């Protein structure tokens, strides 16, 4: 029986070798099939290129509280700015009326804005009310909060701030009372007296200076009590011309601070798929005005959760998700540009493709739009509309 042992061993080695070869060939076949179904055997990769089924551009009538405020008139756009404070800094109570040298309301012009034409502006005392987004254009005569007494006038010049000189009598007539009870201060409005300029203001630098003599001796120098106008906002007239829903170009940004409403058709991504890409592509209209050298903008994208139509002219009533979906910073628009791409998170693709999901598209805005011309993006009525590119790879194939 012993001579049989080496023979059995040889037969066993041959069997194992044959089995191993068969397994290797099978693995190669399966691997090839997996590769045919997608990179790494993850399944089929699908790419979608969606164009909008709805798009338009919308303005806002609400007060805005950005560091840059607007005042003046530029074509159909009219803007007014309002200033107030909750705390006053006044001269000592012992200072008599005849020691007040001057009272000046100072509103700096934004150093980054274009040089304004010379234009007259008037400061008014007004009953402003709440400093929140409830303030909208047209709620008082003639527009915005109701103006009261005309206080002073100033001219705009890029080399100096707006300076409104108030009568010295205002110290005892008004300011002392406002200092004792700040809630009674009605505020200041800065409105245009002419229609030849739109000026951008640096809201953070607005203040009231009271120059006075504190006279312990006949030669004492003057002193200044400064009150910073820490509360401020602007309102502007409604978007004009209003969109009709049939434009071939959509206006993004500019002094009206318009936003783009864009919705893409519903789609479905299979459960278990991997989302590789979600990119919003704005095709620029060739008639846009290029930015000045060095100017850039930041574009943000938010999800819209309420219904809208292409007849919309305002975004004030929209329900928006507070999470920013996408951001594209430092965009420079030149004559050679034809596309702005904004990456969106894969989560929005899954959200829109979930059963029963609300798909009302996105709102696209420019942060601080007042320094650059508006961007013109082609609409769905054009030959190169805005596009949403989606790529996903299906789940792995079943194992053999």
* Domain ranges within the chain, ordered by starting residue: 39-60+239-393, 68-236
Q: Is the preceding omega at residue 380 within 30 degrees of 0, hence cis?
A: no
Q: pLDDT value at position 156?
A: 72
* DSSP H helical ranges for the chain: 4-36, 170, 176-180, 346-353
Give the span between the Cα atoms of 69 and 200, in whole angstroms: 6
The position carrying tokens 């699908």 is: 46
What is the pTM for the complete model shown? 0.81
Name the nearest CA neighbour of 56 among 252, 237, 283, 306.
Answer: 252
Q: pLDDT value at position 42?
A: 62
The position carrying tokens 């809201």 is: 203
Q: pLDDT value at position 270?
A: 87
* Residue 121, CB-side half-sphere exposure with 13 Å CA sphere: 35
Fold adopted by 39-60+239-393: Jelly Rolls (2.60.120)
Give the span between the Cα atoms of 322 and 314, in whole angstroms: 18
Q: Which two tokens stand for residue 317?
A: 């009533």
Q: What does the pLDDT profile of the chain (400 residues) look like in tens digits?
A: 445 555 444 444 454 444 444 433 433 433 444 445 445 556 789 999 999 999 999 999 888 998 899 988 888 999 989 999 999 999 998 888 889 999 999 999 887 766 565 667 777 777 777 777 778 887 664 556 655 667 888 877 656 788 999 999 999 999 999 999 998 888 898 888 777 678 889 999 999 999 999 876 666 788 999 999 999 999 999 999 899 888 999 999 999 999 999 999 988 888 888 999 999 999 999 888 889 888 899 999 999 999 999 999 999 999 999 899 999 999 988 888 889 999 999 999 999 988 888 899 999 999 989 889 999 999 999 999 999 999 999 887 665 4
Q: pLDDT value at position 5?
A: 52
Question: Strands 362-367 and 207-213, how do they pair?
Answer: unpaired
The position carrying tokens 């993004």 is: 252
């Amino acid at each position: 029986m012993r001579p049989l042992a080496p023979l059995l061993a040889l037969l066993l080695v041959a069997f194992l070798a044959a089995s191993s070869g068969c397994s290797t060939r099978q693995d190669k076949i399966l691997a090839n099939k997996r590769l045919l179904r997608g990179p790494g055997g993850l399944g089929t990769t699908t790419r979608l290129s969606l164009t909008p089924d709805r798009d338009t551009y919308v303005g806002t009538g609400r007060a805005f509280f950005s560091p840059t405020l607007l005042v003046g008139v530029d074509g159909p756009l009219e803007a007014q700015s309002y200033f107030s404070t909750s705390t006053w800094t006044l001269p000592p109570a012992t200072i008599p009326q005849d020691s007040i040298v001057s009272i000046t309301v100072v509103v700096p012009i934004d150093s980054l804005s274009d040089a304004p034409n010379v234009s007259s502006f008037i400061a008014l005392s007004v009953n402003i009310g709440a400093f929140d987004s409830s303030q909208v254009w047209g709620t008082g005569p003639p527009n915005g909060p109701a103006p009261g007494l005309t206080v002073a006038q100033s001219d705009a010049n890029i080399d100096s701030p707006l300076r409104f000189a108030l009568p010295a009598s205002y110290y005892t007539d008004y300011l002392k009372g406002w200092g004792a009870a700040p809630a009674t201060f009605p505020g200041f409005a800065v409105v245009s007296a002419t229609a030849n300029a739109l000026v951008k203001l640096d809201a953070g630098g607005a203040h009231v200076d009271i120059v006075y003599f504190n006279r312990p001796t006949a030669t004492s120098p003057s002193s200044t009590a400064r009150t910073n106008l820490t509360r401020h906002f602007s309102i502007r007239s409604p978007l004009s011309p209003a969109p009709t829903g049939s434009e071939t170009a959509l206006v993004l940004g500019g002094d009206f601070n318009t936003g783009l409403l864009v919705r893409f058709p519903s789609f479905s991504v299979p459960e278990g798929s991997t989302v590789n890409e979600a990119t919003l592509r704005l095709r620029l209209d060739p008639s846009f005005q290029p930015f000045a050298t060095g100017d850039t903008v930041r574009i943000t994208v938010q999800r819209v959760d309420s219904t809208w139509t292409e007849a919309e002219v305002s975004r004030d009533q929209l329900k928006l998700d507070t999470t920013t979906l996408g951001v594209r910073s430092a965009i420079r628009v030149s004559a050679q540009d034809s596309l702005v791409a904004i990456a969106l998170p894969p989560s929005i693709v899954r959200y829109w493709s979930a059963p029963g999901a609300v798909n009302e598209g996105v709102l696209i805005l420019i942060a601080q739009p007042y320094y650059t011309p508006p961007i013109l993006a082609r609409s769905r009525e054009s030959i190169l509309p805005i596009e949403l590119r989606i790529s996903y790879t299906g789940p792995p194939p079943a194992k053999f």
